Amino acid sequence: MKHWFFIIFFSILSFMFAFWVPIQPSTPWKSIGGCGAGGSGGGASDGIQWIGQGVSGGRINSEIFVKKSVGQNFSSFSFSPHFSMRPLWHTEIGISIPFSSYQGEVQYRSNQVPVDKSTGGLGDLSLDFSRIVGTTGDASISLSLTLPTGQYDIKRGSDASLEFLPGSFQKGSGLYSLSLGFDYTKDTDMGMWLYNISYSHPFAMRLWSGENEFNKTYFKNIETDNDKRFHYRFKHYGENDLGAYTPPAINTSLAYGYRGQRGFVHSFGLHFSAPLGVAWISSEKTDSYDPRPDPDHQTWSASLVYGLEFSRSDYPLYFAVSLPLHSKTGESNPDNEYDPSPMKVWRAPDFEDFLQQWTLGFGIKASFF
């Protein structure tokens, strides 16, 4: 019964806080632990992962996370409950239900004045599956599918001049995404090493309608006949119906969890992510289909993470802080803004932005039924 009390209390507190503090769209996040601790598929750009002893004993496991992020021109908060169950001892299935909000400056073009915008609500749901492989139980494979349940055409402005908010302000991506991951845990006398590598591949589907969902609204005055961007049932690449493109990505992480202090697990981790292509953004104009390479595209990003689990047997608590480090953004071709080649060059770390951003995470885990 006390499990339910803490879960309900934590959920209510998180929702109340979400109305006061702006938050950012979240991706499925992953929890990891020692042998038998289990976890959920997916990954997070901030690199925060639950590392600890875990909890078991019920048919359903719950992990509830809230995160607060701050940057030089934005502030964000997210609430991400994850529920999972084990139909077999070596197999786990789960669902992530992200709620998110974001507030920050928006500047579509460098010659425009930045203005403050905010959004919030339900994001893209994610279903995940993981299975322990091998006889020792120290390795597992995971598969997750993200569904386009979050709105991705949020607009702001007057009725006569509405504009789409940038993708980072949208609650969803408008895409499906399939992720395949491999985890390996190596126990030591005082702790454990954890390794992860995953590949994510966005794609688009309109199996029933066979056409872009905005053909009769935003693009009703555009000639779309015989154009596969406006009439399709399946796209094997990550271009949504507004024209924004999300490339596939490789993610990897290395972490160490120290269990030498009774009742606590300290963890130190490094997360690295690299897109396999240049991201494109859609036009901010609601009556225009005009995608172009993302001027803020980063060829790689990384995060340094510290976590602390309070290893309570019934409802462990977890605190974490993440510091991001990413590449400098490339400069657009001044003669052709549709040329993605300048964005493909791998660049040095953007140390000017390092230590100017951070993410704090707080989570609770329980098992019930």
Q: Mean pLDDT across the stretch 333-345?
A: 87
Closest CA to 100 of 27, 50, 43, 49: 27
Q: What is the pLDDT of residue 112?
A: 67
Q: Are 172 and 99 in contact (CB under 8 A)?
A: no
The average confidence (pLDDT) of the chain is 85
Q: What is the rounded distance in angstroms from the CA atom of residue 275 to the CA atom of residue 273?
A: 7
Q: Mean pLDDT across the stretch 132-161?
A: 90
Q: What is the pLDDT of residue 42?
A: 30
Q: Mean pLDDT across the stretch 349-364?
A: 93
Kindly tell me if the per-residue pLDDT of 186 is higher than 70. Answer: yes
Q: What b/e string do you get for 145-172 counting C-beta neighbours within 10 Å, with b at 16 or more? A: bbebebebbbebeeeeeebbbbbebbbb
- DSSP per residue over 187-237, as a string? E-SSEEEEEEEEEEEEEEE-TTT-S-TTTTTTTTTS--TT-TTTS-SEESS
Q: What b/e string do you get for 321-338 counting C-beta neighbours within 10 Å, with b at 16 or more? A: ebbbbbbbbbebeeeeee
Q: Are 325 and 298 in contact (CB under 8 A)?
A: no
- Render pLDDT for 278-321 as a digit per residue (tens, 0 to 9): 999 999 999 889 999 998 899 999 999 999 999 988 889 999 99
- Render pLDDT for 7-44 as a digit per residue (tens, 0 to 9): 444 444 443 333 333 333 333 323 333 323 322 223 34
Q: What is the pLDDT of residue 368?
A: 83
Tokens of 175: 């895409």
Q: Mean pLDDT across the stretch 265-271?
A: 97
Q: Which is it for the CA torsion 68, 4, 55, 251, positive or negative?
A: negative
Q: What is the pLDDT of residue 21?
A: 34
Q: What is the pLDDT of residue 81?
A: 95
Closest CA to 166 of 330, 72, 284, 293: 284
Kindly tell me if the per-residue pLDDT of 118 is higher than 50. Answer: yes
Q: What is the pLDDT of residue 312?
A: 85
Q: What is the pLDDT of residue 149?
A: 96
- Tell me the domain boundaries of the chain: 2-368
Residue where the block lists tokens 């052709």 = 336
At the top level of CATH, the class of 2-368 is mainly beta
Q: What is the pLDDT of residue 110?
A: 64
- Render pLDDT for 54-95 as a digit per residue (tens, 0 to 9): 776 678 999 999 999 998 888 889 999 999 999 988 999 999
- Render pLDDT for 233-255 as a digit per residue (tens, 0 to 9): 999 999 999 999 999 999 999 99
Kindly tell me if the per-residue pLDDT of 107 is higher than 90. Answer: no
